[in-house]
Amino acid sequence: MSPLIEARSVELAFGETPALRGADLSVEAGEVLAVMGPSGSGKSTLLHCLAGILVPDAGEVHFDGQRMDTMNEARRSALRRDRFGFVFQFGQLVPELTAEENVALPLLLNGVRRAAALAEARPWFARLGLDGMERRRSGELSGGQAQRVALARGLVTRPQVLFADEPTGALDSLTGEQVMELMVDAARSQGTTVVLVTHEARVAAYADREAVVRDGRARTLSSGPVPGVAAGRVAS
């Protein structure tokens, strides 16, 4: 079977600065893939290309048998809305909304009625240890609580793929591990594929497989610890 997501010789530059220099990466359906690399290596840029947020200058990006890099913005937006979920480093909750409204937001944007969207959102609070937090706003949540709300928002639509960009980067070690356990358990329970960008070996350890991005190129590793990774440093 073909990979669910595949990047082939992807190149992308920001002005005169190359970010990706022929990156190749494949993601199998149902797996948790950790994409590792030092700061500035191109790992987040590669994730954004895989998610259709950025269009590469050269190369190809395929999703579920379709070539995504040649789609127009409207079609890529539809994929991001209907089949992808996202979790970012700082949660990026909407401060004017309550926690349950933040979780329900992707459903509301998809045209689900408010009452039905909130009813779908509320069970996630018990599932992620957030009972009683439904009506709180982001300023009333701890960092770990806010990130769990963001995780629920990323998964509430039961996406085919969850893209997580440094989801524990703003959290302490214990809270980060709790978020990762919840993320992996929730994704596996509903068959969601996860593409996880991180620079931390302890976070990558939750993945089925790992890839390293260095100098804009990706190298896929087998499951298990990443050779040469210690204290956030990836060996050459």
Note the pLDDT of residue 225: 39
CA distances from 225 to 52, 69, 140 (A): 29, 32, 37
Decide if 228 is inside a domain: no
Taking only the tens place, the pLDDT of each residue in 148-175 is: 999 999 999 999 999 999 988 888 888 8
pLDDT at residue 229 in the model: 33
82 in a structural domain? yes
pTM: 0.88
Question: Smallest Cα–Cα separation from 163: which of 54, 33, 72?
Answer: 33
Would you give the end-to-end CA distance of the chain in angstroms?
A: 32
Is the confidence at residue 230, as pLDDT, over 70?
A: no
Contacts of 232 (CB under 8 A, 6+ apart): 38, 199, 200, 201
156 within domain boundaries: yes
Q: What is the pLDDT of residue 208?
A: 94
Residue 139, domain member (yes or no): yes
Range with lowest mean pLDDT among 29-33, 87-91, 145-149: 87-91
What pLDDT, on a 0 to 100 scale, did the predictor assign at position 234? 32
Q: How many domains does the chain divide into?
A: 1
What's the rounded mean pLDDT across residues 124-152?
A: 92
Q: Is residue 236 part of a domain?
A: no
CA 105-107-113 angle, 5° bins = 105
Q: Give buried/exposed letters for 100-121 (b at 16+ CB in 10 A, else e).
A: bbbbbbbbbeeebeeeebbebb
Helices (H) and strands (E) in the chain — how many of each? 8, 10
Q: Say which CATH number the domain at 106 has.
A: 3.40.50.300
- Whether the CA torsion 186, 30, 91, 99 is positive or negative: it is negative
**In this structure, is residue 84 part of a structural domain?**
yes
Domain that holds residue 14: 5-221
pLDDT in the model for residue 222: 58
Q: What is the tens place of the pLDDT at every residue in 29-84?
A: 999 999 998 888 999 999 999 999 999 999 999 999 999 999 999 999 999 999 99
Question: Is residue 66 situated within a structural domain?
Answer: yes
Helix (H, G, I), strand (E, B) or coil at 219: strand
- The answer as to whether 166 is a domain residue is yes
